[in-house]
Structure 1
Amino acid sequence: MAATGWALRGAPNARDLGGLAGHGGRRIRAGLLLRAPALGRLTDEDLAVLARLKPACVLDLRDASETVVAPPDRLPGRPRMVHLPVHDPAHPVFTYVSAVLLGHDLDAYAGLVLDGTPAAMAAIYRWFVADPAARAGFAAAVRLATDPGNLPLLYHCTAGKDRTGWLTAILLAALGVAPAAIRADYLRSNEATESLREVLLRKMAERRPGLDIEAARAVLEVRPEYLDAAYAEVQRRYGDLAGYLTDGLGLTGTELAALRANLLE
Structure 2
Amino acid sequence: MDIDLPSECKDVTVGHPIDGLENFRELTTPDAGIKPGVLFRSDQLDGLSDAAIAELNGLAIETIVDLRTPEELKTYPNAQIPSVDFNVNLPIGSDPADIAKIMPIEIASQIRPMWFEGKFDEIDQLLADHDVDLRQIRIDRYRDFATKFDPQVSRFLHLLTDANNFPMLFHCAGGKDRTGYMAAVTMLTLGYSEEDAVRDYLTTNAFTYDELEQLVGKGPHSLRPAFGAHPEQIKASLQAVKDAHGSLDTYRRDILGISDEEVESIRQNLLLQN
AA partner of residue 21 (structure 2): A
Q: Aligned residue for 2:78?
A: 73
**In 1, Cα distance between the equivalents of 2:98 and 2:245?**
29
Q: Aligned residue for 1:121?
A: 138
Report the 3-state secondary structure (helix = DSSP H, G, I; strand = E; otherwise coil) of the residue aligned with 2:98. helix
Deviations 1:75-96 (A, max 9, x none): 43141111111116xxx83533
Verify the 8 A CA contact 2:146 2:240 in the aligned structure 1.
yes
Verify the 8 A CA contact 1:87 1:94 in the aligned structure 2.
no
Q: Aligned residue for 1:208?
A: none
Question: What root-mean-square deviation, in Å, do the aligned CA atoms of Structure 1 and Structure 2 show?
Answer: 3.1
Verify the 8 A CA contact 2:66 2:91 in the aligned structure 1.
yes
**In 1, Cα distance between the equivalents of 2:206 and 2:13?**
16
Verify the 8 A CA contact 1:13 1:160 in the aligned structure 2.
yes
**In 1, Cα distance between the equivalents of 2:63 and 2:110?**
32
Verify the 8 A CA contact 1:61 1:84 in the aligned structure 2.
yes
Aligned: 1:48 with 2:43: no
Deviations 1:189-245 (A, max 9, x none): 11211223455679xx8xxxxxx7233332121101001111221121122211221
**1:1-265 alignment to 2 at 5 Å?**
7-17=17-27, 21=31, 27-70=33-76, 72-79=77-84, 80-87=86-93, 93-96=96-99, 107=109, 114-131=131-148, 134-198=149-213, 213-265=220-272
Report the 3-state secondary structure (helix = DSSP H, G, I; strand = E; otherwise coil) of the residue aligned with 1:161. coil
Deviations 1:109-139 (A, max 9, x none): 68897431111110011111121xx111111
Verify the 8 A CA contact 2:57 2:83 in the aligned structure 1.
no
Q: 1:66 to 1:108 in 2, by over 3 A?
A: farther
Q: 1:82 to 1:20 in 2, by over 3 A?
A: farther
**In 1, Cα distance between the equivalents of 2:174 and 2:154?**
21
Cα displacement (A) at 1:176: 0.8
**In 2, Cα distance between the equivalents of 1:146 and 1:225?**
30
Higher relative contact order (CA 8 A, sep 6+): 2
Q: 1:138 to 1:2 in 2, by over 3 A?
A: farther
Larger Rg: 2
Q: 1:45 to 1:216 in 2, by over 3 A?
A: farther
Verify the 8 A CA contact 2:142 2:236 in the aligned structure 1.
yes
Structure 1 residue runs without a partner (length 5+):
100-105, 206-211
Verify the 8 A CA contact 1:66 1:98 in the aligned structure 2.
no
Cα displacement (A) at 1:147: 0.8
Verify the 8 A CA contact 1:20 1:28 in the aligned structure 2.
no
Q: 1:146 to 1:6 in 2, by over 3 A?
A: farther
Report the 3-state secondary structure (helix = DSSP H, G, I; strand = E; otherwise coil) of the residue aligned with 1:236. helix
